[in-house]
Structure 1
Amino acid sequence: MKKTWWKESVVYQIYPRSFKDTTGNGIGDIYGIIEKLDHIKSLGVDVIWLCPVYESPNDDNGYDISDYRKISEDFGGQPAFDQLLKKVHEKGLKLVMDLVANHTSDEHYWFTESKKSKDNPYRDYYIWKDGKNGGPPNNWESFFNGSTWEYEPNTQQYYLHYFTKKQPDLNWENPKVRKEIFDVLEYWFQQGVDGFRMDVISLISKNLDYPYTGFEKLQDTIVNYYANGPKIHDYLHEMNQEVLRKYDIMTVGEGPGIDLKNGPLYVDAARQELDMVFHFDHMFIDCGLGGKYDPVPVDFQTFKNVFGQWDAALKNGGWGSIFLGNHDFSRMVSRFGNDKEYREASAKLLAALLFTLRGTVYVYQGDEIGMTNVAYDSIDDYNDVETCNAWKAAKAAGQDMDKFLDIVHSQSRDNARTPMQWDSGLYSGFSAVKPWLGVHPNYKTVNVAAQDKDADSILNFYRDMIAFRKEHRTLVYGDYECLDEGHASIFAYRRWDTDHEFLVLHNFSDATVSFSSDLDGEAYVLLKSNLALQQQHQFELAPWQTKILKLT
């Protein structure tokens, strides 16, 4: 297996709007990131992934870009970005940006031109179709509720938008569009950017003529209709050959609809497409038939199996991304841990899980202090367009809105977007004024300043585990085998190479349990645990305890 810097890296994801406000307008900015670079560096991470900071009307908080080459003044403009990039590199870190190439804002110059007339030079930059039977071209539904088609009266045609109507999808069939996007990549690489996370890149090739009959589960619809279109690999290989291969950079594609069958194709090194993808087999695990806002309990066996299945699928020629949270999902300790009685223990357990699996590890801001889901009193307190649209759809369908608010509390993307909790002062040290989104009420006790001074804190456990992973490259590149797969609460696995072997045990429950195995406990020495407990048996685990043992 070829060894590279991006395989060995730990990536720290920043959602700039919620990270740190220095201008006093309640919105995080680039100067705030600069101010907190020492915190990021102290974690031991290698790469910063920056969510979009481009010019945008913010219908979807920056994922609707109106100018790919302009840094928004909301975040400090180009001077702030130049300073950030310089300081990031001075600290020995790398900076990865977001590429949103499936769609633009409807306020982008290309689209304002495109909608003027059918013969406009930019018309074919987007996907326009005539209606059928007095309605849209087909019955596809947007990821954010409602039709994927919006009628434009000036030219009397519909344009395609997989997300909001202010996010028209680009037409990658047009070679001019591909050239435009490749030029954008070149522009930022020339400035010194170290790679890109590519938003919903699995959707850029469209399957519009595929007859829609509907699947029972939303995820199946995504796999079969919206993602993995007929030319997706042609486009990605072309991007690689035209731009990516010329630079020592990393790429990771966000892949809704990418599954075990097609996932390896995106990242097989011999195919020369992408370095990594984010699949969502574990992140859609609580989605019911109706999707995210029709939740079902997390199945622990499925959760364990996902990691083993993907490790097996990628170990011969590909590479994986290891993550449990980001800006689009609930807080990982609220979702996969116990954010009440065992918040600290389970937050540390989840960190230990991340840092002992094969793949490039991604940490989302705030997870390093165990930030949890928020539960605002009213839907009016929420900002996320996906959440608000889901609320409107539920109300229109006559659902019990008190019960639906409980679902919002667990599922809303705003759970991950509450302001970063720096200290116990006003507005958690995020801003001097009321932030754009309400601060989580637990910031008085859950914050960076308090945990920085506590040797046993979640924050210092993250620092310790990142250093431990870097010390033991077996945890980066070594083989993986899940043990006792059917256990109701234990996730156990071996990691090994020709030099070392580790046994990792996690107890995902509120009860004390024992790992039953033919392995000789006396042959292992305990190197790490998230709990300071002296136990009689090596394989006994307290509630939400992790043990990392090494074969002597």
Structure 2
Amino acid sequence: MERHWWKEAVVYQIYPRSFMDANGDGIGDLRGIISKLDYLKELGVSVIWLSPVYRSPNDDNGYDISDYQNIMDEFGTMADWEEMLAGLHERGIKLIMDLVVNHTSDEHAWFVESRKSKDNPYRDYYIWREGKDGCEPNNWESCFSGSAWEYDETTGEYFLHLFSKKQPDLNWENEKLRDEIYKMMTWWLDKGIDGFRMDVINFISKVPNLPDAEIVHPDRPYQGGHRYFMNGPRIHEFLHEMHERVLSKYDIMTVGEMPGVDADEAALYTGEDRGEVNMVFQFEHMDIDSGPRGKWDIQPFTLTDFKGLMSKWQTGLNGRGWNSLYLNNHDQPRMVSRFGDDGTYRVESAKMLATLLHTMQGTPYIYQGEELGMTNVQFASIDDYRDIETLNMYRTEVIEGGADPEQVMRAIHIKGRDNARTPMQWDDSSHAGFTTGTPWLAVNPNYTEIHAKAALADPNSVFHYYKRLIELRKEHPILVYGDYTLLLADSEQIYAYVRELEGQRLLVLLNFTAESVRCELPGDLTDGEKELLIGNYEAAERDWQGLELRPYEALVYRFFC
């Protein structure tokens, strides 16, 4: 297995709107990020993934871009961005930017031109179709609810938008469009960035005739057309072309967000001999609690289910590709609330989950506030939420569909994207020290107890545990590159595995419950001398013939041969 800096990196995602506000307008900004660079250096991360800061009308919080080569006024100026980049590089931290090229804003100059007339030179930069039988061109549902098509009166045709109606999809079949995108990417790389996180990049190739989706939900007017736009017929061709034209010319990191990929497909995207991307964000483990009706149809899952998915990716990409390791981000609820215990054992379970992510093969991603053990929020009213996906779903289900609002709000409390987007909790002052103004989204009320100031002062905090995990990955290449073998596959309480590399061996033990659990290990793992590399409780004497793990305990041992 080839070794690369991006495999050994630990990435920290900044969602700029919610990270730090420097000017008191309630919205995080670039100067706010600049003020916290030493905090990031202290944590020890080696790469920042910056969610979009490009010019945007903010229909989807910056993922609707109106100008790829300018900075959103709310976030600051290009000079601020350049100062931030220089400050990161001075501290030995690299920067990857969000690349959003499946769609633009409907206020982008290309689309403004495209909708003017059918013979406009930019018309074919987007996907336009005539209606069918007085209705939309097909029955696809938008990822944000409702139809994936919007009628435009100027030309009497519909344009495709897989997300918001203000996010028209780009037509990657158009070679001139691709040229424009590659020029834009090159421009950013020449400014000194260190790579791209590529938003829903496996959506860019659609099946040409855009057929109707199979009717899976007869009670809904629109159906999921994912099979016709996920991993489409020209996706590998497009990504290989992007690599040849742009990516291969720089020593950079690339990660593709790719819903709907399995391990075999991911091996094609990330194989080092294929020239596409370095790694992918897959979603199988993020869909583990989604029922037949999708994300909001929340279903219970078992630890064996979870271990099966995680293990499939660890073994499936070993020697074939590379994993990205994450349990939350700006689109997902807080991991300690979803996979741990955000009450009594919040600190212990946050550390346990961090141990899982940082002791697997792949590149770990930390989402801002994760290193503090930040939790989900439960706002009482839909009026307190800002996320377009959440608001559209509530309107569709409650206002238009008559669903029980309390039941819908429970789903939002568990899975809503605003769980991750409440402002970063810096201290216990007003609005958690995020802003001197009124925050764009309310702060989680538990900020008085959970905040960075307290975490930095407490050597036993979640923050300092993360710092040690990051140091261990630098000290022990086995944590990055070692093979993975699952143990105790049938246990519904314990997640255990071994990492092995060049004669070295590590044992990872994780208790996923709020109870003390006895752990019966194979004999070859109970004998011999071992060193405890890290644990989330004070060290204690262990009886290896009947090892007991405390609630949400995490242990990592190194074996001496």
Q: Does TM, normalized by the shorter one, top 0.5?
A: yes
- The range that moved more, 538-547 or 456-465, is 538-547
User: Whole-Å Cα distance in 1 between the matches of residues 243 and 216 of structure 2?
Assistant: 33
How much identity, in percent, do the aligned residues show? Answer: 51
Q: How does 1:446-461 map to 2 (within 5 A)?
A: 446-461=450-465
User: Whole-Å Cα distance in 2 between the matches of residues 80 and 170 of structure 1?
Assistant: 30
Q: How does 1:249-264 map to 2 (within 5 A)?
A: 249-264=252-267
How far the C-alpha of 1:222 sits from its partner, in A, is 6.3
User: Whole-Å Cα distance in 2 between the matches of residues 525 and 248 of structure 1?
Assistant: 37
Aligned twin of 2:125: 125
User: Whole-Å Cα distance in 2 between the matches of residues 264 and 522 of structure 1?
Assistant: 37
Query: What SS class does the counterpart of residue 185 from structure 1 fall into?
Result: helix
Q: Is the 1:355–1:361 Cα contact (8 Å) retained in structure 2? A: yes
Runs of at least 5 residues in structure 1 that lack an aligned partner in the other structure: none
- CA deviation map 1:187-215 (0-9, x unaligned): 00110010000000010001243442144
Aligned twin of 2:404: 400
Q: Is the 2:422–2:444 Cα contact (8 Å) retained in structure 1? A: yes
User: Whole-Å Cα distance in 1 between the matches of residues 485 and 353 of structure 2?
Assistant: 18
- The range that moved more, 312-321 or 95-104, is 312-321
How far the C-alpha of 1:316 sits from its partner, in A, is 2.1
User: Whole-Å Cα distance in 2 between the matches of residues 287 and 168 of structure 1?
Assistant: 27
How far the C-alpha of 1:72 sits from its partner, in A, is 1.2
Aligned twin of 1:503: 507
Aligned twin of 1:529: 535
Q: What residue identity is the alignment partner of 1:282?
A: H
User: Whole-Å Cα distance in 1 between the matches of residues 17 and 460 of structure 2?
Assistant: 30
- CA deviation map 1:371-403 (0-9, x unaligned): 000000100000000000010111122211111
Q: Note closer, same or farther for the CA distance 1:170–1:369 as it changes in structure 2 (3 Å cut).
A: same
Q: What is the TM-score when the length of structure 2 is the normalising length?
A: 0.96
Aligned twin of 1:32: 32
Q: Is the 2:141–2:225 Cα contact (8 Å) retained in structure 1? A: no
Q: Is the 1:223–1:256 Cα contact (8 Å) retained in structure 2? A: no
- CA deviation map 1:8-27 (0-9, x unaligned): 00000000000000011000
How far the C-alpha of 1:248 sits from its partner, in A, is 0.5
User: Whole-Å Cα distance in 2 between the matches of residues 431 and 211 of structure 1?
Assistant: 47
Aligned twin of 1:3: 3
Q: Of residues 298, 301, 305 in structure 1, which corresponds to 2:304?
A: 301
Aligned twin of 2:93: 93
Aligned twin of 2:318: 315
Aligned twin of 1:165: 165
Q: What residue identity is the alignment partner of 1:476?
A: V
Q: How does 1:489-500 map to 2 (within 5 A)?
A: 489-500=493-504
User: Whole-Å Cα distance in 2 between the matches of residues 260 and 484 of structure 1?
Assistant: 22
User: Whole-Å Cα distance in 2 between the matches of residues 550 and 225 of structure 1?
Assistant: 47
- CA deviation map 1:505-525 (0-9, x unaligned): 000001111221223424233
Q: Does 1:387 align with 2:390?
A: yes
Q: Note closer, same or farther for the CA distance 1:215–1:501 as it changes in structure 2 (3 Å cut).
A: farther
Aligned twin of 1:289: 292
Q: Is the 1:97–1:195 Cα contact (8 Å) retained in structure 2? A: yes
User: Whole-Å Cα distance in 1 between the matches of residues 88 and 163 of structure 2?
Assistant: 33
Aligned twin of 1:542: 550
Aligned twin of 1:141: 141
Q: Of residues 354, 363, 368 in structure 2, which corresponds to 1:365?
A: 368
Q: Does 1:213 align with 2:219?
A: no
Q: Is the 1:270–1:317 Cα contact (8 Å) retained in structure 2? A: no
How far the C-alpha of 1:470 sits from its partner, in A, is 1.1
Q: Of residues 314, 330, 350 in structure 2, which corresponds to 1:347?
A: 350
Q: Is the 1:507–1:542 Cα contact (8 Å) retained in structure 2? A: yes
Query: What SS class does the counterpart of residue 266 from structure 1 fall into?
Result: helix
Q: Is the 1:150–1:165 Cα contact (8 Å) retained in structure 2? A: yes
Q: Does 1:377 align with 2:380?
A: yes
**Root-mean-square deviation over aligned CA pairs:** 1.4
User: Whole-Å Cα distance in 1 between the matches of residues 522 and 8 of structure 2?
Assistant: 32
Aligned twin of 2:444: 440
Q: Does 1:180 align with 2:180?
A: yes
Q: What residue identity is the alignment partner of 2:337?
A: S
Q: What residue identity is the alignment partner of 1:521?
A: T
How far the C-alpha of 1:425 sits from its partner, in A, is 0.7
Q: Note closer, same or farther for the CA distance 1:152–1:75 as it changes in structure 2 (3 Å cut).
A: same
User: Whole-Å Cα distance in 2 between the matches of residues 251 and 271 of structure 1?
Assistant: 14
Q: How does 1:224-235 map to 2 (within 5 A)?
A: 224-235=227-238
Stretches of 4+ aligned residues off by more than 3 angstroms: 208-211, 214-218, 220-223
Aligned twin of 1:204: 204
User: Whole-Å Cα distance in 1 between the matches of residues 487 and 313 of structure 2?
Assistant: 16
User: Whole-Å Cα distance in 2 between the matches of residues 415 and 245 of structure 1?
Assistant: 37
Q: Of residues 413, 424, 427 in structure 2, which corresponds to 1:409?
A: 413
